């Protein structure tokens, strides 16, 4: 499919602007999708601005994709034209290594194919959801449950699964005290999902103005993370903390907030490293510091079904495609309530 409308950055300092891209013709196991909505993840901004190094330009970001199936390849059995579907952060993996066999495609030993900015063996580069169409291998297409608001479902494809997966893996549930650090795209999904799993949720935030929203979303308590007295008052309380912050910060105050054998999982990927944590907070209480990357495809479907069952979706601010550069600036100021979603119909 030639001449597909998209928005791209052509260098780390250039604003995103319209660009025409080519999509491959659907292979027998592919699904061709007309994109309706695409969420705006902080990773899109990191990648567009080369925060992590290694971005290939031009880059078309976007990995929270919702749309309708336009056509399917001859071997596709799970989808038909008109179905409402989603695509997240991955569009392929080897499907034969040990992690892939366990449904952990995100940790594929041969390197999963990111939805955007992945250079393929033939030299082409994957382009993401800031565009009108995409063609994806059937195995990496998600089913959007009936009745879910499609725009509010878009952020589930990254922010939802990135928080759901560690909460499940570390078995968060009733009777546990859970801290979520940062109320942005990931953090607000973390609050909703942890509360739906039955945990008692506390939000750690740098933004006093977000306290009321945090309670509305499911937190029973809000701690101002820059207030030393408040951080000291919660020492030793939390079984589990999920840290979603997109900027470097001191980890020790959070490690000290964990119980004996508590765990803090990092999902934020800032451009600069965090100051190294002290070893004493870990050693003296046998605590763990861990990380987690999105989630596998089967688990992403499980998360979508869990969200449908619990009436959970993202709190979104809908924007037009042309507003993307302003949205990035607002995201850098932690000024999003709580995920921008692009209405793709605004892209000619
Ligand atoms: P976001 O919407 O911008 O939210 C980040 C939140 O972090 C902000 O709302 C803010 O919350 C807090 N924050 C930001 N700057 C801060 C600072 N200087 N000091 C303290 N707190 C600060 O970003 P997002 O889309 O949720 O993504 C968060 C991070 O996760 C990004 O680094 C992204 O690349 C990464 N990510 C990782 C994965 C994964 O698989 N591991 C997947 C997706 C995204 P408060 O206002 O409440 O303090
Ligand atoms: Zn993301």
Which token pair is 202?
């506390």
For residues 153-167, average pLDDT: 98
Q: Distance from the CA of 111 to the center of ligand 1, in angstroms?
A: 24
Q: Distance from the CA of 255 to the center of ligand 2, in angstroms?
A: 25
For residues 253-275, average pLDDT: 97
Ligand 1 atom nearest the C-alpha of 336 is 2
Query: Percent of the chain scored above 90 by pLDDT?
Result: 99
- Ligand 1 site, CB within 6 A: 41-43, 46, 158-159, 162, 182-187, 205-207, 210, 244-247, 249, 267-270, 292-294, 331, 334, 336
Pocket test for ligand 1, best of 61, 179, 244 (most atoms within 8 A of CB): 244
For residues 70-83, average pLDDT: 98
- pLDDT value for 278: 92
Which token pair is 200?
């008692």
Would the pLDDT of 78 be above 90? yes
Ligand 1 atom nearest the C-alpha of 249 is 19
Taking CA atoms, 267 is separated from 104, 139, 156, in Å, by 16, 25, 15
Domain 4-158+295-346: homologous superfamily in CATH: Medium-chain alcohol dehydrogenases, catalytic domain (3.90.180.10)
- State the pLDDT confidence band at 1, using cuts at 50, 70 and 90: confident
For residues 76-99, average pLDDT: 98
Which token pair is 247?
């900027």
Which residues pair with residue 339 across a beta bridge? 316
Domain 160-291: homologous superfamily in CATH: NAD(P)-binding Rossmann-like Domain (3.40.50.720)
Q: Are 8 and 60 in contact (CB under 8 A)?
A: yes
For residues 21-37, average pLDDT: 97
Pocket test for ligand 1, best of 185, 245, 290, 299 (most atoms within 8 A of CB): 245
319's CB contacts (< 8 A; 6+ apart) are: 40, 327, 340, 341, 342, 343
**pTM for the whole thing?**
0.98
What ranges do the domains of the chain cover? 4-158+295-346, 160-291
| Alpha carbon distance 105, 17 (integer Å) | 32
Q: Distance from the CA of 100 to the center of ligand 1, in angstroms?
A: 28
> What are 300-336's pLDDT values in tens digits?
999 999 999 999 999 999 999 999 999 999 999 999 9
């Amino acid at each position: 499919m030639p001449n597909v409308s998209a928005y791209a950055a052509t260098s780390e300092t250039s604003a995103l602007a319209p660009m025409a891209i080519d999509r491959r013709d659907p292979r027998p196991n592919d699904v061709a999708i007309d994109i309706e909505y695409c969420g705006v993840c902080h990773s899109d901004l990191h990648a567009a601005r080369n925060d992590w190094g290694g971005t290939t330009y031009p880059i078309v970001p976007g990995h929270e994709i919702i749309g309708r199936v336009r056509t399917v390849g001859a071997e596709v059995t799970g989808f038909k034209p008109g179905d409402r579907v989603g695509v997240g952060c991955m569009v392929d993996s080897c499907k034969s290594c040990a992690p892939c066999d366990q449904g952990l495609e995100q940790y594929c030993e041969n390197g999963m194919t990111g939805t955007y900015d992945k250079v393929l063996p033939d030299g082409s580069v994957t382009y993401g959801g800031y565009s009108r169409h995409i063609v994806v291998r059937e195995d990496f297409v998600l089913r959007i449950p009936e009745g879910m608001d499609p725009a509010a479902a878009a952020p589930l494809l990254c922010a939802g699964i990135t928080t759901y997966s560690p909460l499940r893996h570390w078995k968060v549930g009733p009777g546990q005290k859970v801290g979520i650090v940062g109320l942005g795209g990931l953090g607000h999904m973390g609050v909703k999902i942890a509360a739906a799993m039955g945990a008692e949720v506390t939000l750690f935030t740098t933004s006093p103005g977000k306290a009321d929203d945090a309670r509305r979303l499911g937190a029973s308590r809000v701690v101002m993370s820059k207030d030393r007295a408040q951080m000291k008052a919660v020492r030793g309380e939390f079984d589990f903390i999920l840290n979603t912050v997109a900027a470097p910060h001191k980890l020790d105050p959070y490690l000290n907030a964990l119980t004996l054998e508590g765990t803090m999982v990092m999902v934020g990927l800032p451009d600069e490293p965090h100051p190294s944590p002290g070893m004493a907070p870990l050693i003296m209480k046998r605590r763990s510091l861990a990380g987690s990357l999105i989630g596998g495809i089967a688990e992403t479907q499980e998360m979508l079904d869990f969200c449908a069952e619990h009436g959970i979706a993202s709190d979104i601010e809908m924007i037009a495609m042309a507003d993307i550069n302003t949205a990035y600036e607002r995201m850098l100021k932690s000024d999003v309530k709580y995920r921008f979603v692009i209405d793709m119909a605004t892209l000619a």
